[in-house]
A and B are shown apart, each in its own frame.
Chain A
Amino acid sequence: MLRLVNVNSYYSLVHVLRNLSLHVYKGEIVTLIGANGAGKSTTLRSISGLHPVKEGKIYFKDIDITNKPTEQLVKLGIAHVPEGRQIFWPMTVMDNLELGGFLICKNHGKKQLKKSIDEMYELFPILKQRQNQYAGTLSGGEQQMLAIAMALMTKPEFILLDEPSMGLAPLIIREIFRVISELKIETGLTVLLVEQNANAALRIADRGYVMETGKIILEQDASSLLKNQEVKRAYLGRDKREIWE
């Protein structure tokens, strides 16, 4: 469904993505793990068109989408939940969801928009209780749910999730991950998930990539990655004794 071929991205002179290639099949949850600054978020930003790609190609459903404007990619069915809960703080939860459904409103009218918002309230009941509150006053977990709900409002086939668990309590992380796997099963949503919390991510993922300084260094089934000695040592925080000894 998604294919990156030798993608190179820069932040002015800093070479962030170095010949990065990866692919995601339809209906898969693929996770991208790696240390801070490895280029995980930049990978997602390059896919969704928020960051320019210098060299290389990105294909979505065999269409070349390299450096296309973000709003066109959204129309094609790519949603991106950037890190740090990018919601509209001074607006109400309801307004945020309406804006998430900007395209629905434009193409199918207000009625369809209302219906989609109700679907989101079903998925995240807490948002319904908070619908008239300002988004900035929500708790971290609620904000993250809102950010995901906004992305789902664009009716994506493929969703990019950037650190959905950042700074959240374990119980809420579990809740969010439950929703993600539910969506995959029920609607056939394809997910590319970037996570610091490699353990939780690999548990719901089908496949995983390990990234280091802008390059993919490993690609395997999620279950094999969980058992991989090197991954365990570097990202899962287990088997530390072997290093000390």
Chain B
Amino acid sequence: MSSGGSFTDLLQFIFMGLQRGSIYAMVAMGFNMIYNSTGIINLAQGEFVVLGGLMMVSLTMSANISLPLAFVITVFFVTIVGILMERFTINPVKPPTVMRLIIITVAVSILLKGSAMCFWGKESHYMKHFSGTEPFEIMGATILPQTLWIFGILIIIVAAFIYFFNFTMTGKSMRACSINRDAARLAGINDRKMVMLSFALSAGIGAIAGIIVTPIIQMDYSRGALLGIKGFGAAVVGGLGNSIGAVVAGLLVGILEALGGGYISSHYMDAFALLILLIVLFIRPSGIFGSREASRLKEF
């Protein structure tokens, strides 16, 4: 490990940063999806991640279901949770002002966290890596197979995302709703259905993020808040509502965090992401990739 010196360290930190960043990117994509369809920040986003991770732990470690099947069941289950959340807590609110809806998501987040604690207990849960723990070596730095899984799945999700929003009718209608809701309704698009769909999709993405990260971080019921805040940071840095921006910003936040942790102090690792969020909010509140014009028109 000592041969190669500082370059190897740097590479190692970057790998670690990309791995953490991929998770932030996915959480941020979930934030954006709901933000685009409703104009609110869903503060229960981190809870979807936790729920995905813990559910997966139970299915694979206790119930001994095979990985792919458990994966599908978990994503399906969390998606249902997302849909129920929208149907029972967001949809009935009249009038749906931004502040009310955000407070509701806080409540849902506490509710989900509490239920997770009752069901899975307070301890953290270990889960088997997808394909072994034998690390690869790349130019002196090591990388876990699980990390490769994380990159791979992020790439697949981004590709699926681009395809869905640009080439399918449902995806286009969702975009249409976020661009101009009245015009979308006049085309016969049911905007409330699209809101439900956005909750379903972002819960699904959250679940996937939780599943793939659990073998590395060991999930417990209280992880959601921090994951949510960092994902939110990535969403803001990338410009709220801009999903490709969120992916880039998520990776960026992850790398900066890892570099800060590696070269300055690992005790303050979690603080770096928040520091970045604060700096961006002070200097350029619309985010690196967001448009200033657009942010002026937004309610929130």
Given A151-B186, A153-B187, A154-B187, list of 9 further CB < 8 A pairs? Answer: A50-B186, A74-B185, A74-B186, A86-B182, A86-B183, A102-B187, A102-B188, A150-B187, A154-B186
Q: What total count of A-B pairs have CB within 8 Å?
A: 71
Which chain A residue shows the least CB distance to B191? A71
Within 8 A of A (CB), among B173-197: 173, 175-176, 179-180, 182-191
- Bound Cα distance A103, B189 (Å): 8
B172 near A95 with CB under 8 A, answer yes
Minimum Cβ distance to chain A for residue B36 (Å) = 12
Q: Lowest 9 CB-CB distances: which A-B pairs, in order?
A: A74-B188, A86-B183, A70-B185, A103-B188, A88-B179, A71-B190, A102-B187, A99-B176, A71-B188
Q: Kindly identify, within residues 181 to 197 of chain A, every residue whose CB is under 8 Å from any CB belonging to chain B.
A: none
Q: Check B169 for interface membership: any CB of A closer than 8 A.
A: yes
Enumerate chain B interface residues (CB-CB to A < 8 A): 169, 172-173, 175-176, 179-180, 182-191
Taking the closest CB of chain B, its distance from the CB of A35, in whole angstroms, is 24
Please report the C-alpha to C-alpha distance between residue A127 and residue B190 in the assembled complex, in whole angstroms. 26
A180 lies within 8 A of chain B by Cβ: no
Q: In the complex, which residues of chain B have a beta carbon less than 8 angstroms from the beta carbon of A154?
A: 186-188
Report B177 CB to chain A, min CB distance, Å. Answer: 10
Contacts of A49 in B (CB 8 A): 185
Contacts from A to B (Cβ < 8 Å): 48-50, 69-71, 74-75, 79-80, 82, 86-91, 95, 98-103, 105-106, 150-151, 153-154
In the complex the two chains form, what is the Cα distance from A100 to B182 in whole Å?
Answer: 12
B184 / chain A contacts, CB cutoff of 8 Å: 88, 99
A149 to B190 alpha-carbon distance, docked (Å):
20
**Chain B residues within 8 Å of A99, by CB:** 172-173, 176, 184, 187, 189
Docked complex Cα distance between A91 and B180 (Å): 11
Most buried by A among B169, B180, B183: B183
Q: Which of A75, A82, A95 contacts B183 (CB 8 A)?
A: A82
**What's the Cα separation between A101 and B180 when bound, in Å?**
16
Q: CB-nearest residue of chain B relative to A97?
A: B187
- Among A86, A90, A95, A98, contact of B186 (Cβ-Cβ < 8 Å): A86
Contacts of B182 in A (CB 8 A): 50, 70, 82, 86
Bound: A87/B183 CA distance, A? 7
- Please state if A86 and B180 are interface contacts (CB–CB under 8 Å): yes
A89 close to B179 (CB less than 8 A):
yes
Min C-beta distance of B133 to chain A, whole Å: 45
Q: Which residue of B lies closest to A100 (CB)?
A: B187
Most chain A beta-carbon contacts within 10 A, residue among B175, B187, B191: B187
CB nearest neighbor in A for B183: A86
Residue in chain B with minimal CB distance to A50 = B182
State whether A102 and B189 are in contact (beta carbons under 8 Å apart), knowing that A89-B179, A91-B175, A91-B179 are contacts in the complex.
yes
Q: Which residue of B lies closest to A96 (CB)?
A: B176
CB distance from B163 to the nearest CB of A (A): 14
Closest to A79 in B: B186
Closest B residue to A78 by beta carbon equals: B186
Q: Is the CB of B186 within 8 A of A82?
A: yes
Instruction: Tell me the smallest distance from the CB of A51 to a CB of chain B, in Å.
Output: 10
**Which of A69, A91, A153 is within 8 Å of B176, CB to CB?**
A91
CB-defined contacts of A69 to chain B, threshold 8 Å: 185, 190
Residues of A contacting B169 in the complex (Cβ-Cβ under 8 angstroms)? 98, 102, 105-106
CB atoms of B179 and A50 under 8 A apart:
no
- Give Cα A30 to B179, complex, Å: 31
Listed by A's residue number, 11 A-B pairs whose Cβ atoms lie within 8 Å are A69-B190, A71-B185, A71-B191, A74-B185, A75-B188, A79-B186, A88-B183, A91-B176, A99-B184, A102-B173, A150-B183
